[in-house]
């Protein structure tokens, strides 16, 4: 088994010290084997591996965009040690068989933990509940369910799903999007969409569903997670719901923390994403919501697409952006460099809190006895995003060419070095 002495790394609070890894766990110095490999981490920061609750791995069915393997490699390159595979694959992950397949592929590759998210409804069609218990009791142990890409729009289906998953401490992750208000919608509805002649996607289409669902979660006393909040109004609804004691958690993506709808002026479909990029005012509200804990976590919504799906007219292009490899750097830039969060607070939102929401017990901490899932980052260094050099199989990053702070140097999964940045 790999054994490491990580020397002189600083932790997220700035405390410098040695960390010891053996048998896949963080151990006391005395438990370290004599032949432990020494890693000089002077100048680097040791952080618990990041945990993504919203990842699209595309396997099975769309392996031209991403596979469990390439997605895992992208995750490791971004400092993630756990990712959560959304069920909108072909076939849809709505049975124990499919979630087990994805889970085993993750285990087989062994680069990070791949936790499948099960579909709430059969075929993600929003009508009939999928066999949620069977997916939970499978080897994959699914706890999070989502029809992501589609909203669980029928209020009765949503209510039943919220109630049903209480039997095994499950959680419904809602993609909040009123389908009627967003038919053929292409981008945020506002001044820019009006000018560009692209069909608008009103903020209320997201907010109305969030409002309904927090009330449903309150009524049936169940756990609700709101995927990718994008609007100032949505943040306010979640803030009020938390004040009322409703068990709601929420995520925001790095791209919604940085980018705004005016980027669509280029008609470059790399900026086409669901939910859409919003206004500067929304971006500010999202940052503040993340800072004050209204929004609990950052999640990537890593959504790979093959080149031809983005190399076409805006209307015809696919929705989505990749984000695993840039998530930490973008988040660090918009939240820590702006002093909205400390490094430790940011890392909680990228690691500890998502691990708690998903009940991913082997993640979120670098304390002794914990599984050795961690990353070493050089926070003083910068790097330039080059889409052709990313580990993901797809190239649809909106951040190509950006110069970003925070270089992921090494990532360890269960005590094994799974990623090391190539020196230039």
- Nearer of residues 158 and 198 to another protein, judged by Cβ: 198
- Nearer of residues 8 and 204 to another protein, judged by Cβ: 204
- Nearer of residues 64 and 131 to another protein, judged by Cβ: 64
Query: HEC string of the chain?
Result: CCEEEEEEEECCCCCEEEEEEECCEEECHHHCCCCCEEEECCCCEEEECEEEEEECCCCCCCCCCCCHHHHHHHHHHCCEEEEEECCCCCCCCCCHHHHHHHHHHHHHHCCCEEEECECCEHHHCCCCECCHHHHHHCCCCCCEECCCCCCCCCHHHHHHHHHHHHHHCCEEEECCCCCHHHCCCCEECCHHHHHHCCCEECHHHHHHHHHHHHHHHHHHCCCEEECCCCCHHHHHHHHHHHHCCCCEEEEECHHHHHCCHHHHHHCCHHHCCCCCCCCHHHHHHHHHHHHHCCCCEECCCECCCCHHHCCCCCCCCCCCECCCCCHHHHHHHHHHCCCCCCHHHHHHHHHHHHHHHHCCCCCCCCCCCCECCEEEEEEEEEEECCHHHCCCCCCCCCCCCCEEEEEEEEEEECCEEEEECCCC
Burial 206-237 (b: 16+ CB within 10 A, else e): bbbbbbbbbbbbbebebbbbbbbbbbbbbbbb
| DSSP assignment letter at 288 | H
User: How far apart, in whole angstroms, are the C-alpha atoms of residue 408 and residue 361?
Assistant: 23
- Nearer of residues 170 and 190 to another protein, judged by Cβ: 190
* Residue 211 CB, nearest approach to another protein (Å): 20
- Nearer of residues 195 and 359 to another protein, judged by Cβ: 195
- Nearer of residues 278 and 349 to another protein, judged by Cβ: 278
* Residue 278 CB, nearest approach to another protein (Å): 13
- Nearer of residues 40 and 308 to another protein, judged by Cβ: 308
The question of whether 221 is a catalytic residue gets the answer no
* Residue 231 CB, nearest approach to another protein (Å): 14
* Residue 193 CB, nearest approach to another protein (Å): 7
Phi, psi of 116 (to 5 degrees): -70, 145
* Residue 396 CB, nearest approach to another protein (Å): 15
* Residue 271 CB, nearest approach to another protein (Å): 11
* Residue 188 CB, nearest approach to another protein (Å): 10
- Two tokens at 345? 């607070």
CA angle 53–58–213, rounded 5-degree value: 40
- Nearer of residues 69 and 204 to another protein, judged by Cβ: 204
* Residue 267 CB, nearest approach to another protein (Å): 3
The active-site residue, picked from 301, 348, 362, 378, is 301
Could you list the residues that contact another protein (CB under 8 A)? Answer: 189-200, 202, 266-267, 308, 311-316
Catalytic residue ranges: 301
């Amino acid at each position: 088994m790999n054994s490491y002495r990580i020397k002189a790394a600083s932790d997220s609070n700035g405390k410098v010290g040695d960390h010891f890894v053996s048998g896949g766990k963080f151990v006391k110095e005395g438990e370290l084997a004599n032949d432990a490999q020494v890693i000089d981490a002077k100048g680097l920061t040791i952080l618990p591996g990041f945990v993504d609750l919203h990842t699209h791995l595309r396997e099975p069915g769309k392996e031209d965009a991403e596979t469990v393997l390439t997605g895992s490699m992208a995750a490791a390159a971004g400092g993630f040690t756990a990712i959560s595979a959304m069920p909108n694959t072909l076939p849809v992950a709505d049975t124990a068989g499919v979630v087990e397949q994805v889970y085993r592929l993750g285990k087989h590759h062994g680069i990070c933990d791949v936790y499948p998210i099960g579909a709430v409804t059969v075929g993600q069609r929003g009508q009939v509940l999928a066999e949620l218990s069977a997916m939970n009791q499978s080897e994959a142990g699914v706890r999070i369910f989502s029809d992501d890409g589609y909203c669980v729009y029928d209020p009765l289906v949503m209510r039943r799903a919220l109630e049903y998953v209480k039997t095994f401490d499950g959680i419904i992750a809602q993609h909040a999007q009123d389908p009627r208000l967003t038919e053929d919608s292409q981008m945020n509805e506002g001044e820019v969409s009006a000018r560009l002649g692209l069909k608008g996607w009103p903020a209320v289409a997201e907010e109305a569903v969030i409002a309904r669902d927090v009330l449903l979660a309150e009524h049936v006393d169940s756990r609700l997670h709101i995927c990718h909040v994008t609007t100032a109004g949505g943040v306010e609804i979640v803030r009020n719901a938390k004040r009322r004691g409703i068990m709601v958690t929420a995520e925001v993506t790095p791209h919604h923390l940085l980018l705004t709808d005016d980027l669509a002026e280029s008609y470059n479909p790399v900026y086409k994403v669901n939910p859409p990029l919003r206004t500067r005012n929304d971006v500010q509200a999202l940052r503040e919501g993340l800072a004050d804990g209204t929004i609990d976590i950052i999640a990537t919504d890593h959504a790979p697409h093959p080149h031809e799906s983005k190399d076409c007219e805006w209307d015809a292009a696919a929705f989505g952006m990749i984000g695993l490899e840039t998530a930490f750097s973008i988040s660090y830039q918009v939240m820590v460099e702006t002093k909205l969060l400390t490094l430790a607070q940011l890392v909680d939102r990228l690691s500890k809190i998502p691990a708690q929401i998903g009940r991913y017990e082997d993640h979120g901490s670098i304390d002794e006895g914990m599984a050795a899932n961690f990353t070493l980052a050089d926070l003083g260094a910068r790097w330039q995003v080059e889409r052709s050099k990313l580990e993901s199989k797809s190239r649809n990053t909106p951040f190509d060419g950006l110069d970003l702070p925070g270089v992921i140097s090494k990532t360890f999964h269960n005590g094994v070095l799974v990623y090391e940045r190539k020196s230039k």
